Chains A and B, each alone.
Chain A
Amino acid sequence: MNDEKVRVHPVLVRDYQRLLSLFPYSYRRDHQAELLGHLVEASEPEQSRVSSGERFDLLRAAGREWLLAPVGSTALQRRHGTSSLLIFLPILLFLPAAAALGSIVATLQFDGSLRHAVEGTPLAPAWLLWLVGFVVLALGFLRTARAFLTVAAAVSWGTLIVLGGRGEMQEAFIVAGWVLGQTACAMVVAERVAWSRTLQSPVWKRVTVLAVAGVVALPTAWIVQGLSYGTGPWGYRPGFRYALGTNGVLLLLGLALVVLLCSRRTRQSIPVLAGIATAVTVGRTGIFGSRFRPLDVVDFGNVIGLFAVSIVAMAGVRWVINRMDELSSARIRLSSTAAGLTATVAVLAGALLAPSWTGNDLGPHWVAGVLTDAPVRTEPELIAFLQSGEPKTATVDATTGELDSVFVDAVPTAKDEWANSSSPTGWISSTRTTPDDGSAL
């Protein structure tokens, strides 16, 4: 706003640059110069340090960018990614939620002790909150759902920390994948709340989407649990509750990955799903164990390692998806350039070969093709003739110069459509012939 030259303290610029370096690369590539210019322009004349408000705002924005990085590097990717995850995450998380709560009910029926039930299924309180959050979300109360899901994620992290503090690392190692899943779910809904101010999608649409997810999720959870109960290579478990649906989860994820890859919109959800799948899978294998270090003595390092592997998987898949998006964009740009070029060439060729089309007379020596005789001399007549829908032949009488032959691959509806058509079948093949008298055309 103020175009006057203002001397800015170099320490202030350095501090801003340091804060901006905390953002992910893709964000810095798009916004760093712009953001730095903004911050410097907004600074007070004698300001030499970053204010606490600015620092908090930038740190929060950087944290948000890092958290959302697996969903997408750009806002559009995030929009598509969160839309897909809003359907796929509930379907995925219904399985362990149903299993955990089922285990609680079974324990209560067995000895009636809530304490035993919760001790046996440590994530049960978090799952209960998550289910309530999901129901609220399905009812269309996005902000309330965000609160429930955020609390559910916080409770699941708290559970993980408590398990770690009590030395129950094996349990922590196993539930870590679902903690990640709950965190992703809370994050996705929080991002949708931010988008809701921009997109304003109708409540009925959101409700429909969530209802579909719920309707699909419940029977899927039931079927998959029935199919995979306690069998297969992933059957290893310290308690049967965690094996419920595990095979099904992996099978479902494998199928989902293939289907989701096909669409540019849905594939944005794959990195997050892949990260959760990695954590869940690693949590059920002895990948960090060895002959000398069996799985049942996992320590805090194993849990950290599990998260690290999951984050690496998310980052790797995100990289692949970004490259796929770039290829898609390049392909779209190429086809649109080719279409534009074809149209330009066609228009130029039309102008060169049939200059009389600017008027009503088609002009002499203009030949366009095949089929039946057609007594047309003017553009309207030709279009009417072409639209008549029957095979056509027209030839130019080189002596009189009258058009009487037309080759038609497909019948256009108007000259503009004809001239702008990029499809070869929509173009009337045309050529100029040398008349019998040999004069140049």
Chain B
Amino acid sequence: MILSALAQGPAHGYGIVKDVELSSEGRITLRAGTLYGAIDRLVAAGLVEIDHEEVVDSRLRRYYRLTPEGGNRLAAEAHRAEAQARSALARLNARGWVVGTPGGAGSRLDGATA
């Protein structure tokens, strides 16, 4: 989720939290203590690096960005997730399921609801 948030450009910690919350439609909320532990690990693994720092309203903002390796990792993960999702949808379609929108109920072609 953090790599995905940084895919659109450098972001600071709170920006990442807001992006993750938005993209998960409010299902995932990253807490500060958890977030910076994860960012530290990503930086140490060479997937993320510090872009720049700025002070806004006397508050330090440290911006992070993806490294090329981080971009590759994110792309690989995205492709893998996409392939899994396609496979799942294909299997559901093969069994006669009409796949609804996320959160909505699917239904069978024979009229039964899921």
How many angstroms from the CA of A33 to the CA of B59 in the assembled complex?
7
How many angstroms from the CA of A75 to the CA of B37 in the assembled complex?
8
Min Cβ gap B30→A in Å is: 10
**Are A42 and B17 in contact, CB atoms less than 8 angstroms apart?**
yes
* Known A35-B36, A60-B33: A75·B44 in contact at CB below 8 Å: yes
> Interface residues of B: mostly helix, strand, loop or mixed?
helix
Chain B residues in 8 Å Cβ range of A57 = 31-34
Task: Identify the closest chain B residue to A30 (Cβ).
Answer: B40
- Looking at the complex, which of A191-199, A213-221, A365-373, A408-416 is the stretch in contact with chain B? A191-199
B44-76 residues at the A interface, CB under 8 angstroms: 44-45, 47, 56-57, 59-62, 73
Q: Is A308 an interface residue (CB 8 A)?
A: no
**Are B62 and A198 in contact, CB atoms less than 8 angstroms apart?**
no
Q: Is A291 an interface residue (CB 8 A)?
A: no
Among B35, B41, B73, the residue within 8 A (CB) of A75 is B41
**Are A195 and B41 in contact, CB atoms less than 8 angstroms apart?**
yes
Among B40, B41, B61, the residue within 8 A (CB) of A37 is B61
How many angstroms from the CA of A64 to the CA of B37 in the assembled complex?
10
Chain B residues in 8 Å Cβ range of A198 = 38, 41-42, 45, 47
Min Cβ gap B71→A in Å is: 15
> Interface residues of A: mostly helix, strand, loop or mixed?
helix
Q: Is B15 an interface residue (CB 8 A)?
A: yes
* Known A40-B59, A54-B32, A61-B34: A34·B42 in contact at CB below 8 Å: no
Chain B residues in 8 Å Cβ range of A1 = 14-15, 18
Q: Is A3 an interface residue (CB 8 A)?
A: yes
* Known A38-B14, A42-B17, A75-B43: A58·B32 in contact at CB below 8 Å: yes
How many angstroms from the CA of A74 to the CA of B37 in the assembled complex?
10
**Are A74 and B44 in contact, CB atoms less than 8 angstroms apart?**
yes
Task: Identify the closest chain B residue to A32 (Cβ).
Answer: B60
Chain B residues in 8 Å Cβ range of A37 = 14, 56, 59-61
Q: Is A41 an interface residue (CB 8 A)?
A: yes
Task: Identify the closest chain B residue to A31 (Cβ).
Answer: B36
Number of B residues with CB within 8 Å of any CB on chain A:
28
How many angstroms from the CA of A64 to the CA of B38 in the assembled complex?
13
Among A5, A34, A195, A200, the residue within 8 A (CB) of B60 is A34
Min Cβ gap B64→A in Å is: 10
| Best-surrounded residue of A34, A78, A200 (most CB of chain B within 10 A) | A34
Min Cβ gap B53→A in Å is: 8
Task: Identify the closest chain A residue to B59 (Cβ).
Answer: A37
Q: Is A79 an interface residue (CB 8 A)?
A: yes
Min Cβ gap A8→B in Å is: 9
Q: Is A53 an interface residue (CB 8 A)?
A: yes
Min Cβ gap B42→A in Å is: 6
Chain B residues in 8 Å Cβ range of A194 = 37, 41
Min Cβ gap B54→A in Å is: 10
A352-372 residues at the B interface, CB under 8 angstroms: none
**Are B32 and A39 in contact, CB atoms less than 8 angstroms apart?**
yes
Q: Is B10 an interface residue (CB 8 A)?
A: no
Chain B residues in 8 Å Cβ range of A5 = 57
Chain A residues in 8 Å Cβ range of B36 = 31, 34-35, 61
| Best-surrounded residue of A38, A54, A57, A78 (most CB of chain B within 10 A) | A38
Among B37, B41, B44, B45, the residue within 8 A (CB) of A61 is B37
Chain B residues in 8 Å Cβ range of A31 = 36
Q: Is A76 an interface residue (CB 8 A)?
A: yes
Min Cβ gap B79→A in Å is: 14
How many angstroms from the CA of A75 to the CA of B36 in the assembled complex?
11
How many angstroms from the CA of A78 to the CA of B37 in the assembled complex?
12
Q: Is A118 an interface residue (CB 8 A)?
A: no
Among A3, A64, A199, A200, the residue within 8 A (CB) of B56 is A3
**Are B44 and A42 in contact, CB atoms less than 8 angstroms apart?**
no
Q: Is A36 an interface residue (CB 8 A)?
A: yes
How many angstroms from the CA of A277 to the CA of B34 in the assembled complex?
32
How many angstroms from the CA of A423 to the CA of B33 in the assembled complex?
47
How many angstroms from the CA of A198 to the CA of B31 in the assembled complex?
18
* Known A31-B36, A35-B36: A76·B62 in contact at CB below 8 Å: no
Chain B residues in 8 Å Cβ range of A34 = 12-13, 36, 60-62
Task: Identify the closest chain B residue to A53 (Cβ).
Answer: B31
Leading 3 A-B pairs by shortest Cβ distance? A61-B33, A37-B59, A75-B44
Interface residues of B (CB under 8 A from A): 12-15, 17-18, 31-38, 40-45, 47, 56-57, 59-62, 73
